[in-house]
C-alpha cells in the first residue's frame, strides 16, 4: 500500500549561528549545551522583566511572556493531541561546539548554533537580546563574558546569511521555513540512508531509555515520525490521523540496518536538582537499507529537530551523509579508543 503525499512537507525551523567575541576568559565544559541553556534561561527571564514572584505565582505577565513561549511552554496547544502530551516540547535546540572542555581567551571568538522552531520565531529579536545579555552577565565557570558580534542564518543549501550585527542591531528579514525535497518522485523505491549521530542519542520506550542492544531501525524511524508529526501538528494544526501514522509506522518494519555505533557517557550538573546527572547515549554511524520514499522527508527534517531525550541541550543531533558506507573499514568513522561498539 502506498501512502500518498499530497503536499510537500515543510516546517517553520531555522538554524542560527551566534558569534561572540570573548571579553574575559570564558570556560566551557566538554559539552556546553547544558551550560549555555542555563545562561540563556536566566537572561531570558531578565529581558522579559520577570521576577521570582512571577514564576511562583504563575502570573499573567509570565504566561504571556516570551520566556514561557520559548523556554518553558506550559501546556499543549488546542487541537494538539498526539501522544496526549500535557506540555509541549521547547521550540529550540542549542548546538554547542563539539569540542573538549576549553577556556576561550580575551578577543577569541566563540560560535555556537541555535535551532528555532515555529513557536519561537516571533520572539527572535528577544532571543537575540537574551543571548547578548547572557554573555554580558557571564557564562560558565568563572562567569566569563563576551559581546555578541553577529547572528547568521545557516540556509540548507550552504548559504550563510548575516541577519544581525553589533553595528546594525536589527533583524534582517529572511526565510525561516524548510521544505523537504520530493523524495517520493526522486526515490520511488526508497534508498539507503547513511546517518552520522554526532551527539548522544537517547531514545525512550515505556519510560525507560532503550539499551543499545535493543535499538533497531524501526524504533529510530518511529521516533522520527513522532517528533516531526508533533511539530507539524503544533505549527500547522494538521490532525495527522492515527490511521495515517500507523501506515507510516508500518513502512518502518521494512527497513534493515548496519551500524557502527558506540556508547558515549556524558554527564551534566543540574543546579536546580543540585546533583550530577548521567545522560549517556549512542553516537557514530548508522546505515538504513532501502528506506521507503514516504519516510525520507522525516529523516531530512529531523536533522534540524534532533531526536530523543534532552534535545534542548543539543543531544540527538544527526546528519544525513552523502558519503558512501564502507563495510570493511570501521576505523574511518570512529576513534574507538576507550569506547565499545554497540
Task: State which of 31-35, 83-87, 264-268 shows the largest mean pLDDT.
Answer: 31-35
For residue 340, pLDDT beyond 70: no
Q: What is the SS3 string spanning the chain?
A: CCCCCCCCCEEEEEEEEEEEEECCCEEECCCCHHHHHHHHHHHHHHHCCCCHHHHHHCCHHHHCCHHHHHHCCCCCCCCCCHHHCCCCCCCEEEECCCCCCEEECCCCEEEEEEEEEHHHHHHHHHHHHHHHHHHHHCECECCECEEEEEEEEECCCCCEEEEEECCCCCCCCCCCEEECCCHHHHCCCCEEEEEEEEEEECCEECCEECCHHHCCHHHHHHHHHHHHHHHHHHHHCCCCCHHHHHHHHHHHCCCEEEEEEEEECCEEEECCCCEEEECCEEEEEEEEEEECHHHHHHHHHHHHHCCCCCHHHCCCCEEEECCCCCCCCCCCCCCCCCCCEC
Range of weakest confidence among 161-175, 197-211, 280-294: 197-211
- Where residue 328 falls among pLDDT bands split at 50, 70, 90? low
CATH 3.50.50.60 is the classification of domain 182-321: no
Determine the pLDDT at residue 277.
Answer: 62
For residue 75, pLDDT beyond 80: no
Residue 335 CA to residue 339 CA, distance in Å, equals 8
Residue with more model confidence, 106 or 184: 106
Domain residue extents for the chain:
12-177, 182-321
Amino acid at each position: 500500500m502506498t501512502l500518498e503525499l499530497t503536499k510537500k512537507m515543510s516546517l517553520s525551523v531555522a538554524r542560527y549561528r551566534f558569534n561572540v567575541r570573548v571579553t574575559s576568559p570564558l570556560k566551557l565544559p566538554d559539552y556546553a549545551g547544558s551550560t549555555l541553556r542555563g545562561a540563556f534561561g536566566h537572561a531570558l527571564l531578565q529581558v522579559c522583566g520577570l521576577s521570582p514572584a512571577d514564576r511562583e505565582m504563575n502570573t499573567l505577565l509570565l504566561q504571556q511572556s516570551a520566556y514561557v513561549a520559548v523556554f518553558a511552554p506550559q501546556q499543549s496547544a488546542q487541537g494538539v493531541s498526539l501522544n496526549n502530551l500535557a506540555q509541549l516540547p521547547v521550540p529550540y535546540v542549542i548546538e554547542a561546539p563539539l569540542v573538549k572542555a576549553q577556556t576561550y581567551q580575551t578577543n577569541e571568538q566563540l560560535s555556537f548554533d541555535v535551532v528555532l522552531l515555529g513557536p519561537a520565531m516571533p520572539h527572535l529579536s528577544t532571543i537575540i537580546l537574551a543571548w547578548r545579555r547572557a554573555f554580558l552577565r557571564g557564562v560558565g565557570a568563572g562567569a566569563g563574558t563576551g559581546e555578541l558580534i553577529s547572528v547568521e542564518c545557516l540556509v540548507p543549501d550552504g548559504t550563510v546569511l548575516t541577519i544581525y550585527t553589533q553595528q546594525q542591531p536589527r533583524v534582517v528579514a529572511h526565510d525561516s521555513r524548510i521544505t523537504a525535497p520530493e523524495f517520493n518522485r526522486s526515490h520511488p523505491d526508497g534508498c539507503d540512508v547513511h546517518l552520522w549521530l554526532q551527539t548522544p542519542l537517547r531514545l525512550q520506550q515505556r519510560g525507560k531509555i532503550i539499551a543499545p542492544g535493543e535499538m533497531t531501525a524501526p524504533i529510530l524511524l518511529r521516533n522520527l515520525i513522532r517528533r516531526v508529526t508533533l511539530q507539524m501538528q503544533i505549527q500547522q494544526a494538521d490532525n495527522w490521523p492515527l490511521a495515517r501514522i500507523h501506515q507510516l509506522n508500518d513502512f518502518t518494519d521494512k527497513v534493515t540496518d548496519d551500524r557502527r555505533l558506540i556508547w558515549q557517557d556524558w554527564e551534566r550538573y543540574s543546579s536546580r536538582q543540585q546533583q550530577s546527572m548521567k545522560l549517556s547515549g549512542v553516537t557514530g554511524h548508522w546505515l538504513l537499507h532501502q528506506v521507503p520514499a514516504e519516510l525520507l522527508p522525516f529523516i531530512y527534517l529531523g536533522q534540524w529537530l534532533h531526536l530523543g531525550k534532552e534535545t534542548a541541550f543539543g543531544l540527538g543531533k544527526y546528519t544525513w551523509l552523502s558519503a558512501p558506507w564502507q563495510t570493511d573499514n570501521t576505523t574511518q568513522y570512529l576513534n574507538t579508543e576507550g569506547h565499545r561498539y554497540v
